[in-house]
């Protein structure tokens, strides 16, 4: 498990998957396949993308890390979906499958049951910004659509003010998140998913949407 280290007095922080081999794995049903592959930016600097593929499965990877959202509240990333799960109502237990999720966890107490989590998803049905209780754990997990639609194989840029989202959804202003988790799942719908995720970046200010979204 990656040891938690506070990130304070910094202006940005990138979850670049450099410690991915140390992340915690959590299986709910079977195992989603996660794999890194290296890309090269226009500057010539290499970086990693994360591929996730599930087949009637649900498992997550999690990085434990204290991130100062009082200083760096903006979280941004690129993602694309090659295959969406075949679901009915995404807000039901049977439809609670998503090609890609990013969960941001705050644990104000000392037990998992005291944690509060926002799960950012690419929704096929709800508009960007819509939120709803997770059907399995409505008190501790809230879903929020960060991207919407069914367009495949196209990069989308997503950005959220995490501190503001927690304040709006949970009614509390937090300055630190304690973990970030990623999951692709299709266990409820007994279908398949395939998605790709760029590094996740926390910054002090809102980032401009890239002119081209062909690559992250």
pTM: 0.90
Per the CB < 8 A criterion, the answer to whether 36 and 17 are in contact is yes
pLDDT of residue 108: 61
pLDDT digits (tens, 9 = 90+) for 25-80: 999 999 999 999 998 877 778 899 999 999 999 999 999 999 999 999 999 999 99
3-state secondary structure of 20: helix
Rounded distance, CA 132 to CA 175, Å?
A: 23
Q: Is residue 209 part of a domain?
A: no
Exposure of 98 in the CB half-sphere (CA atoms within 13 A): 30
Residue 180's contacts (CB-CB under 8 Å, 6 or more residues apart) are: 15, 62, 63, 65, 67, 102, 103, 104, 105, 200
The reply to whether 18 falls in a domain is yes
pLDDT in tens, 108-155: 654 556 689 999 999 999 999 999 999 998 888 999 999 999 999 999
Question: Can you tell me the distance from the alpha carbon of 200 to that of 7, in angstroms, rounded to the nearest whole number?
Answer: 15
Residue 214, domain member (yes or no): no
Q: Which residue range forms the structural domain that includes residue 173?
A: 12-203
Question: Total domain count for the chain?
Answer: 1
Query: Residue 7: inside a domain, yes or no?
Result: no
Q: Could you tell me the CATH number of the domain that includes residue 22? A: 2.60.120
Question: In sequence order, what DSSP letters do the residues of 35-98 get, joined into one string?
Answer: EEEEEE-TTS-EEEEEEEEEES-EEEEEEEEEEETTT--EEEEEEEEEE----S-TTSSTT---
CA–CA dist 148, 161 (Å, integer): 17
Give the per-residue pLDDT at 213: 52
Q: Binning pLDDT at 50, 70 and 90, where does residue 206 land?
A: very high
Bridge-based pairing state of the strands 24-29 and 58-68: antiparallel
Residue for token digits 């509060």?
Answer: 116
If pLDDT is split at 50, 70 and 90, which confidence band does 13 have?
very high
With CA atoms as reference, report the closest residue to 74 among 50, 104, 114: 104
H-run or E-run covering 181: strand 176-185
Classify residue 112 by its DSSP letter: G
- Altogether, the residues listed in the chain come to a count of 216
């Amino acid at each position: 498990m990656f040891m938690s280290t506070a990130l304070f007095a910094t202006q940005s922080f990138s979850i670049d998957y450099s410690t991915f081999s140390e992340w915690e794995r959590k299986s709910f049903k079977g195992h989603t396949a996660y794999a890194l592959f290296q890309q090269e930016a226009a500057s010539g600097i290499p970086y990693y993308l994360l591929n996730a593929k599930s087949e009637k499965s649900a498992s997550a990877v999690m990085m434990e890390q204290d991130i100062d959202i009082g200083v760096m509240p903006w979280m941004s990333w690129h993602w694309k979906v090659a295959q969406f799960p075949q679901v009915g109502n995404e807000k039901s237990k049977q439809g609670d499958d998503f090609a890609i999720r990013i969960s941001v966890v705050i644990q104000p107490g000392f037990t998992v049951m005291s944690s509060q989590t926002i799960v950012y998803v690419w929704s096929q049905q709800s508009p960007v910004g819509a939120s709803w209780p997770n059907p399995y754990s409505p008190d501790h997990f809230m879903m929020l659509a960060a991207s919407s639609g069914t367009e495949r194989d196209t990069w989308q840029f997503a950005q959220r003010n995490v501190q503001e989202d927690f304040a709006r959804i949970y009614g509390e202003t937090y300055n630190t998140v304690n973990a970030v988790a990623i999951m692709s799942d299709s266990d409820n719908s007994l279908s398949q998913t395939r998605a790709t995720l760029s590094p996740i970046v926390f910054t002090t200010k809102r980032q401009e949407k890239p002119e081209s979204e062909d690559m992250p």
